[in-house]
Every structure is written in structure tokens, then in C-alpha cells.
Amino acid sequence: MDLPVDEWKSYLLQKWSLLPKSIQVSISTAETLSDIFLHSSSLLQSEDEMFLKRLSRDYLVAKDPDAPLFYREEGNKKFQDKDYMGAIVLYSKGVSHSRPNTEDISLCYANRSAALFHLGQYETCLQDIIRAQTHGYPERLKPKMMLRKAECLVTLGRLQEASQTISDLESNLAAKPTLAASQFKIIQKTLCRLKMKVQEKENLTETSPAAPTKAFENMDLREKNEQISSATSSVNLCSDPLKGRYLIATKDILPGELLVREDAFVSVLNPGEMPPLHYGLDSKWDTRVTNGDLYCHRCLKRALATVPCDGCSYAKYCSQECMQQAWDLYHSIECSLGGLLLTLGVFCHIALRSTLLARFEDVGKVIRKLRGDISNKDICLPESKNLVQTFSDDLGGESEKNDKTVETPIPGCDINGKYENNYNAVFNLLPHTEKHSPEHKFLCALSVSALCRQLEAASLQTLTTGSKPSQPKAAVAPALCQELHIWGVAMLRHMLQLQCNAQAITTIQQTGSKENIITNSKQVRLATGIFPVVSLLNHSCSPNTSVSFISTVATVRASEQIGKGQEILHCYGPHESRMGAAERQQKLRSQYFFDCTCPACQNEKHRTTTGSRWEAFCCNRCRTLMQGDDVLSCGNTSCAEAISRDHLVSQLQDLQQQVKMAQKLLRNGKLEQAIQLLLGCRYDAESFLPVEHSVVGEIEDDLAQAYAALEDWQKSAAHLQKSLQVVEVRHGPSSVEMGHELFKLAQIFFNGWPCGLG
């Protein structure tokens, strides 16, 4: 997903293995990104490009004129089964494949409006009705849709508009009586009912409730930081030769205090499972739901009714405004490259989009900086001299001004020492060029080179054919291509940066059946982005902050008390509550190129052989934790109990099988049987597992679910509270996992309140 598809990776790795040793050495020992790019791109042959094009064609991103009918019919099946959400997704896929101002797109919008109406999404339903009308919805079908519009307006209390819609429909029916008698009677009856509703509502004096504020979503930073954009005054930026850049607390910080609220400089939606054509599918049109169907490709907000790009079937947006902004900023160039970008992976896509966004800051300034950095090998390596080139605001300024350099203490800051969310900050994130393997650099360089060739071809085509009136920004590609080598090196830099600096943008999604009274949830990766300020945070396996996301905005809060002068720390993924020290070190070393020496890792070196309580065994006699390697003995010196580890591991595996059987019964609705089996598992676990063991927590959680399904809220709450104890021991009181469990407990208390629970 992040890197190119496996077929392209294998192809290039084989190409690398067949290169003469001298060329491999030249690329491996190249001191600058420019040299790596030049050496590698010169090896890209026409047959390589043809192979990549074949891979790219497997992704259905162009508009297929036969697809709208297929998706509309599939959506109709879902609609008839009253699966309105499923129908909406399929109608949206039909919309994406339809050309503007065609009957196909108008029918898909109209059908989607019907599904939205049944879900009670009246405002969104009205928007789709307007879209259907705008794209030429057939006159013969309009009466039914106009009735739906009137129903929405009445329900929303927009009575004047509802009356006008009813009046217009009556006039149209009188002027063009083309409906069958049975249909005419149904419509007349519905119109009479709606008019009565309007009169009833007009006779009532209603007070509309105030619209809920979006305080959390629109929350601004208090006491803004003058040195670091998107940060509060509670933090300060420092630099150290060994640690690099980092943030410290300027005062004592309380748990929950907001530290950073930053919008991504660039983000790309993760496509999810998008199988190439003919890969085990019954049809070439995929009906499965992916992130790309549910979220806006620009702002990443959940979108119930997406608006498609006019040029491709892949990009979808929450509104016309988001679609236009994306087009103006980057999609005018990306649109024709959809299949190629999916083949080359998210990192390559972000690299391209970052350079496209750089154009809007100051093209001349950016190009001069890139030229200067390409010619200076030190800038491309971590041990840079911290020199920032300053440029005249006037692009035609004197050369001596442009050559002037000033020493700044921290890379990424401007000449006034301010660190902002801009391309300068992004460019100065470390690529760790010398730490990546030669094969990886070759893969990235040739992928970027292939992308540049396609940009060049698209530029020539634009110059030859001219841009369409509906695509006014398509002609910016030639400007990019005039400095294609420079932009290519910049994209290569960004691809290498992303391994250490990419931020997974996550969201919470519900799991399990929609019918469940108590819902489970999980954190899923929605997109990948670059956050220059968040990237300043160093790693700890036991961090003092937590990061959350609303669309493209990252919010960093203190998860515990942080003293003045203490470093602000973030977890890069390997957390002490989710991985052992050895696994964490291996992950950090392979992806981030460092060995972690945080207190959690240091403490774990001195931890006894009992291991973590959530994965340890306990004595059957006295319940003390067992210690040892192959043969475990009781940690209580007065107890002589001893047993082989293999025996206990085998016992644990048998227990886990029993738990899986109980979970299957639970999914199939066989609640009493599931409860009996789980209670048996719980009894067996008591003989060799501590109460904090993760499997014990899993059993308690399953019992809570089963009793909730039977509406025995008291027993459900009792079991979930025991599960909470396990989660707190393993993940900590401020963890996301703890939040999920507390939310489930809140649902139980809410449902059980009428019965006296709580």
C-alpha cells in the first residue's frame, strides 16, 4: 500500500540484481539524491515503462460507460432488501462512472436520494435531488422525485418551499397528464396528505432547536506559539546534535491539555483493498466497500453521498467545493495518472502531491532552493550544516541577494526562526539517505522516474491538444516539466522521508453486526499524511501524549502530567503495552533506524523472567506468578510448585480454542450455549492464569456481550468491569483501548438505566 505493488517491486529488484557490479556500486556510493536519481533514471528502459503501464491498466479508474447500469441494478437489489446504506454505496459507484449531464448520472443521483430519504437524511436527499435535476433527470420520472422533495421539505419544516414544490407538481401534472391512472391517483393522494401536513405545521408555533455547535471540531489553539505554528505556547522547539529537533514543555502541563493542533501539509487517502481487474472477481466491477467509497479524498470527512471527479471514477469528495479545491491544487494533474499512482503506492503519490502543493508557495523560490540543495551534497544528508538559503521576494532580485546565506539554529525554520506548516518545513524533514538500502533507493528512484516520464507525456499532450474548459488548471503540468529533473529529485527525497516521517491518519470504525445493542469499535488507518510539527516529536514506547484525528487535523494532547523542561514524546507505533522490548527494538531499527533507550525499554531489560502479567502464568496453588524459562517455578519461596512451560502453553492453546468456539456461538446467536462454554473457560483459566491475563479479559468481554444481548445489564456490566481491569493493566488508563471499553460500559449503563442499573 505504501510502496509500489509487489509485481513492480519484484520486477525492479530483479533488474537491480542483473545490473553490472560497477553500476550497483555507483548507485550505492552516490553521495547526493541528485546522483542517485540520475544514475537510476538513466536505466529506465521503454520495456520497463510498458510493464508498469500494463500493471496500471489493471486498476479501473477511468469512467466505464457500462458500469452505471450495473451499479444501479445492484443498488436496486440492496434497496429492495431495505439495505439502504449498501444501496447508497453502489449508487455512488454508479455516479462515479457516469459522465456529467447524462441520464446515467441523473438516475443514480435520484435513486441515491430515495435511499437517503429512507435513512432520514433529508438534507442530503435534497442535495441529490437537485443534482439529479441539474444533470437532466428525465421528465417522465420527475413526479415521484418531486414528491420526495416535498416530503423532505415538510419534514425539515421548510413549509414555504414545500408548498411551492407541491404547487409546481400539481401544475405540471395538469399541463402534462401523461401518467397512468393508477399512478396519478397515488400521487394525488400523497399530495393531499402533504398539504394537510403543511397546514398542520403552519398552525403550530414551533421553536427550532439551536444547531449543535462543533466546538471540538472547530477548536482553536489558546495562547498560540509565536515560534511554532499549530502549537500552543506550552511547548518550545529545541535542537541537539544527537537527538535532532525536539519539543519540550515551557511550563507544567496537565493531563488532557492541548499541545498541537495541525492540519496535514499533504494527505492521501489509503485506497484499502482495491483488487486489480480479473483477480478472482465475478465481475470487472467491484461491489465491495472501501475507504475510497466512504470518505472525501480531500478533507477525509465521512461522506454519505459523494460527489465524483468529472474526469475519473476513483476520486470522490464530500462536496462540490472539496472537488474544486482538489482539482485546483493537485487533481488536475493526478486525474489521468490514477492507475499509475495506485500501482506506485501511497508514498509515491504523497511525494508527487507535495511537490504540486509546493508550486503555490513560491515556485521560483522553491526551484532555486531545490537547485541549491541538489548541488550541495551536505543538504541531502542528515549531517547538514543547518544553512538555509534566503531568497529575494522579487523573483528577479539581484544574484548576490540570492546567494546570501545566514546560519539558523534549527533546520526548517524561516530566516526569522519560525517553524511553520509549509513546504520549507517538509523539505527539511530528514530522508536518511545513507541508511536506506541501495535496493530501496533504486526502487524509489525508478518509480519516481517513471512517474516523471508520464508527467512529461501528459504535458506534451496538453500542449498539443489544449486543456478542456472544464479543466482550467491542466496546463500547469508544462511548468512542472520545465524543471522535471529538479522536481524528480524532490519527489525522491519525499519518498525516502516518508518511511520515518509519514503519519498514519486514523479513525474509529464500528465492528460487528449493526443489530448489536452494544457496539465494538476499532482504530483503523484511513490515510497517510505529513505533519511537519507533529514530526518534531521524538519517540517513546511509553509516551506522555496521545494523538487523535478529525479529518485531516491531528490533535496532540498530554496523556499525563508533564513537568516544565520535560520532553514532549509521541509513540511511533511500537508501544510497551502492545509489544515486547525485543519486538519494539526490531521494528524501530528497521523502519526508523535507531535503538530506543526510553525508560520503558530500559526497565524491561531489568524485568524478571515472569514476563508481563497479561501474558504470564500463575501458580495453581497460591496464585503467585510463575518464574523461569523451560521449567517454571512459583515465585512464592514457600511454595514448591513447578511445571514445564510447554505444558502450560499447550493448556493455554486449548483454552483459546474453546474461547473461539464460544465466540462462534455468540456470533450465531446461540447465547445460552455461548455463556455456558465461556463460564467453563473462565473456570479453567483460574487454575493457571492471573486475573490480568489478556485471555481472561477476552472471556470477560465476551460474557459481557452475551449478557447484553440477553438484556441482563447487571451481569453484563459486572463482566465488562473485570475486562476493564485487564485492559487498564495492559494498555494503561489513558489508552485508546481503555476508551473503547469505557464507551461500551457507558452503553450498558445507558441501556440498563430504566432497569435500575447504575
Query: What CATH number does residue 243 fall under?
Result: 2.170.270.10
Domain shared by 352 and 489, yes or no? yes
Domain shared by 495 and 363, yes or no? yes
Domain shared by 691 and 579, yes or no? no
pLDDT in tens, 679-713: 999 999 999 999 889 999 999 999 998 998 898 99
Tally of domains within the chain: 4
Please state, rounded to an integer, the average pLDDT across all residues of the chain: 83
Query: Is residue 120 domain-resident?
Result: yes
Query: Is residue 495 domain-resident?
Result: yes
E-state strands within 194-280: 235-240, 244-249, 258-263, 266-269
CA distance 313 to 302: 18
Bridge partners (DSSP) of residue 340 are none
Query: Is residue 445 domain-resident?
Result: yes
CATH number, domain of 96, equals 1.25.40.10
Other CB atoms within a 10 A radius of the CB of residue 556 amount to 27
Domain shared by 122 and 6, yes or no? no
Domain shared by 489 and 535, yes or no? no
**According to the model, what pLDDT value does residue 16 have?**
96
3-state secondary structure of 311: coil
pLDDT in tens, 170-194: 887 777 666 656 666 677 777 777 7
Domain shared by 548 and 652, yes or no? no
Helical spans, DSSP H, in 420-483:
423-427, 438-465, 476-481
**According to the model, what pLDDT value does residue 432 have?**
93
Residue 220 reports pLDDT greater than 80: no
**According to the model, what pLDDT value does residue 415 have?**
86
**According to the model, what pLDDT value does residue 660 have?**
94
Window from 338-347, 366-375, 706-715 with minimum mean pLDDT:
366-375
- Using pLDDT thresholds of 50, 70 and 90, give the confidence band for residue 80: very high
- Using pLDDT thresholds of 50, 70 and 90, give the confidence band for residue 209: very low
* pTM over 0.75, yes/no: yes
Domain shared by 715 and 591, yes or no? no
**According to the model, what pLDDT value does residue 667 have?**
85
Window from 35-39, 222-226, 625-629, 746-750 with minimum mean pLDDT:
222-226
Q: Tell me the torsion sign for CA atoms 403, 409, 415, 418.
A: positive
Query: Is residue 679 domain-resident?
Result: yes
Residue 638 reports pLDDT greater than 80: yes
Domain shared by 165 and 114, yes or no? yes
What is the DSSP secondary-structure string of 502-558?
A: -EEEEEEEEES-TT-SSPEEEEEEEEEEE-TTGGGPEE-SS-SEEEEEETTEEEEEE
Window from 128-132, 264-268, 499-503, 664-668 with minimum mean pLDDT:
664-668
**According to the model, what pLDDT value does residue 202 have?**
67
CA distance 297 to 334: 12
For 183, the domain range is 66-201
Which of these three, 155, 177, 201, is where a domain ends?
A: 201
Q: Across residues 377-398, what is the average pLDDT?
A: 32
Domain shared by 103 and 197, yes or no? yes
pLDDT in tens, 421-432: 999 899 999 999
Tell which residue, 663, 659, 664, 740, has the closest CA to residue 693.
659
Q: How many CA atoms lie within 13 A of 318 on its CB side?
A: 13
**According to the model, what pLDDT value does residue 212 have?**
45
pLDDT in tens, 276-287: 554 444 567 888
Residue 477 reports pLDDT greater than 50: no
Residue 379 reports pLDDT greater than 50: no
Query: Is residue 605 domain-resident?
Result: no
Domain shared by 346 and 493, yes or no? yes
In terms of residues, how long is the chain?
A: 758
- Using pLDDT thresholds of 50, 70 and 90, give the confidence band for residue 395: very low
Query: Is residue 221 domain-resident?
Result: no
Query: Is residue 398 domain-resident?
Result: no
Other CB atoms within a 10 A radius of the CB of residue 98 amount to 28
Domain shared by 435 and 487, yes or no? yes
**According to the model, what pLDDT value does residue 283 have?**
61
Query: Is residue 270 domain-resident?
Result: no
The DSSP output letter for 755 is G
